[in-house]
Amino acid sequence: MRPARLLAKMLLTTTILLVRAATLQSASATTTARVRADSMSLQDPVARLQARLDAGDIILAHDSVLGYLPAVLRAFNIPTSSQSLVFSRTSLRTDLIAPWSPRALYFSDDVYVGWVQGSEFLEIAAVNPTAGAVFYTMSQEAAARPQFGRESTTCMMCHKSRATGGVPGFLMLSTIADRLGYQIASVYSGTTTDATPIKDRFGGWYVTGSHGSAGHSGNVYSSKDFHQVDKELYRGQIDLTVESARTDLAGKFDSSPYLSPNSDIVALMVLVHQTSVHNLITATHEAARIALIMHYAPSDATALIPLAVSDAGLHTAVERLVRALLFADEAKFDSPIHGAEKFLTEFTQRGLRDKQGRSLRDFDLQQRLFKYPLSFLIYTEGFDALPNVAKDGVYRRLRAILSGDDKNRAFERLNDGDRRAIFEILIATKPEFTAGDPHLRRSSDGRAH
């Protein structure tokens, strides 16, 4: 059955499960639009890959067990070390996901691929620089010309909700699951972000690696069924941090069909960061668009810079984004984080570096996630595509904070050395950052301060 028809059928039969959390917004239609590459704007990585497939520039190999998964990951340059395993039945395939059959997610900076054992299709989400998250499925049946089918309502039931900040976006939840993977309660309400305490993260996920004695909420499911317990009381009765130091998942499930035996803690930390910050970038994009309409500016190009300051909605969105980009509210690490070498290396080596070899992708993992806490998402198309009124606002705030002119306590965790290092890395690697400031342009040889 084609993914579109299958999805419609599944939605009818699983409505009760889907109308679950407050994260869902009401939507009754189950229409699924299949849009061919020739009618898509080629703005997102999936549409661009489809165009290459249609032109015969690239062929996706089909694997008898994993279908198109390995080939799709290769085509998007997504490392298998990013594999993150979730066993709670919190997403679309509530019928197939379970502690003995977790869903595997793989990601790069702007594409996410979901694989569920036994599923007839891959689930793909990508960042469209102007529209936020866009969703696709690809049939796992071998085909002469594999197609990514664009999905709309089916995925947006959850992926455009309160948990994504109201924009088409990405999700990451932390739940107490029962032994079958059904959600009993949330460990932490809403989507997991950098501000979520680490001990409360990853409920419903498998995690390899460790966060010292303080732990995390991964790897644990209840022995009780969700209908046997009083949800509110149960939260306090189960210690979710007891399996925080697993370096392998042997005994939990059969990992042989998976591309990696791991669900690495550092990959999961990065997943938390990027899913939530992608959503904030999209929210800022929407706030800018609304501001431009409200102020009757005919186009972004002619909008005046002070608009960013005068419009309350846009101002709030920019400030929230800047805080997230600078990890201002990042949860404290109670102990160092230890993950697998492979993800660390593969993630880090993609970084743009300044003359001193420093990159925003360098990890710290002792007291915080990154050594130079400014999000690497600043290099993505999604950030670059922000309307100028918003992007100039972000750059202006970054310049003020990183130069030390802004002493706002919200950013007090950045010491002078951090600010200087990030400032210098940006000047060396993000030409647009210096473009709006003649003084910085002159000093873009690295002598910023």
Residue 416 beta carbon to ligand HEC: minimum distance, rounded to whole angstroms: 36
Q: Which two tokens stand for residue 289?
A: 């668009």
Residue 88 beta carbon to ligand HEC: minimum distance, rounded to whole angstroms: 6
Cβ atoms within 10 Å, residue 117: 19
- 260: which residues sit within 8 A by CB, 6+ positions away? 80, 81, 83
Of 4, 10, 18, 176, the one binding ligand HEC (CB under 6 A) is 18
Q: Report angle CA 127, 133, 135 to the nearest 5 degrees.
A: 105
Q: Is 103 in the site for ligand HEC (CB under 6 A)?
A: yes
Q: Is 91 in the site for ligand HEC (CB under 6 A)?
A: yes
Write down the residue that tokens 């993609």 correspond to.
Answer: 350
CA torsion sign for 52, 277, 109, 359 is positive
Q: Report angle CA 379, 380, 381 to the nearest 5 degrees.
A: 130
Q: Is 170 in the site for ligand HEC (CB under 6 A)?
A: yes
Q: What is the distance between the alpha carbons of residues 123 and 113, in angstroms, rounded to a whole number? A: 6
Largest CA distance in the chain: 67
Residue 171 beta carbon to ligand HEC: minimum distance, rounded to whole angstroms: 4
- Cβ nearer to ligand HEC, comparing 37 with 303: 37
Give how many residues touch ligand HEC by CB under 6 A.
Answer: 27
Of 4, 40, 155, 425, the one binding ligand HEC (CB under 6 A) is 155
Cβ atoms within 10 Å, residue 415: 9
Which of the stretches 84-92, 234-242, 401-409, 414-422 binds ligand HEC when contact is defined by CB under 6 A?
84-92
Q: Is 410 buried (19+), middle (13-18) or exposed (0-12) by CB count in 10 A?
A: middle
Which of the stretches 85-93, 257-265, 331-339, 395-403 binds ligand HEC when contact is defined by CB under 6 A?
85-93
Q: Is 44 in the site for ligand HEC (CB under 6 A)?
A: no
Write down the residue that tokens 């420093």 correspond to.
Answer: 358
Q: What is the distance between the alpha carbons of residues 113 and 104, in angstroms, rounded to a whole number? A: 8
- Cβ nearer to ligand HEC, comparing 85 with 337: 85
Q: Is 167 in the site for ligand HEC (CB under 6 A)?
A: no
Which of the stretches 48-56, 153-161, 295-303, 388-396 binds ligand HEC when contact is defined by CB under 6 A?
153-161
Site string for ligand HEC, 118-137 (x = CB under 6 A): -----xxx---------x-x
Q: Is 325 in the site for ligand HEC (CB under 6 A)?
A: no
Q: Is 87 in the site for ligand HEC (CB under 6 A)?
A: no
Nearest Cα to 183, choosing from 222, 136, 157?
222
Q: What is the distance between the alpha carbons of residues 265 and 271, in angstroms, rounded to a whole number? A: 10
Of 69, 73, 104, 157, the one binding ligand HEC (CB under 6 A) is 157
Q: Is 200 in the site for ligand HEC (CB under 6 A)?
A: no
Q: What is the distance between the alpha carbons of residues 91 and 11, in angstroms, rounded to a whole number? A: 12
Of 75, 138, 172, 374, the one binding ligand HEC (CB under 6 A) is 172
Residue 114 beta carbon to ligand HEC: minimum distance, rounded to whole angstroms: 4
Residue 19 beta carbon to ligand HEC: minimum distance, rounded to whole angstroms: 9
Of 60, 86, 268, 365, the one binding ligand HEC (CB under 6 A) is 86
Of 40, 47, 85, 173, the one binding ligand HEC (CB under 6 A) is 173
Torsion-angle region of 173 (φ positive above 0: left; ψ -120 to 50: alpha; else: beta): beta
Q: Is 252 in the site for ligand HEC (CB under 6 A)?
A: no
Residue 221 beta carbon to ligand HEC: minimum distance, rounded to whole angstroms: 14
Q: What is the distance between the alpha carbons of residues 372 and 417, in angstroms, rounded to a whole number? A: 10
Q: Is 55 buried (19+), middle (13-18) or exposed (0-12) by CB count in 10 A?
A: exposed
* Binding stretches for ligand HEC (CB under 6 A): 7, 18, 86, 88, 90-92, 103, 105, 112, 114, 123-125, 135, 137, 151, 154-155, 157-159, 170-173, 275
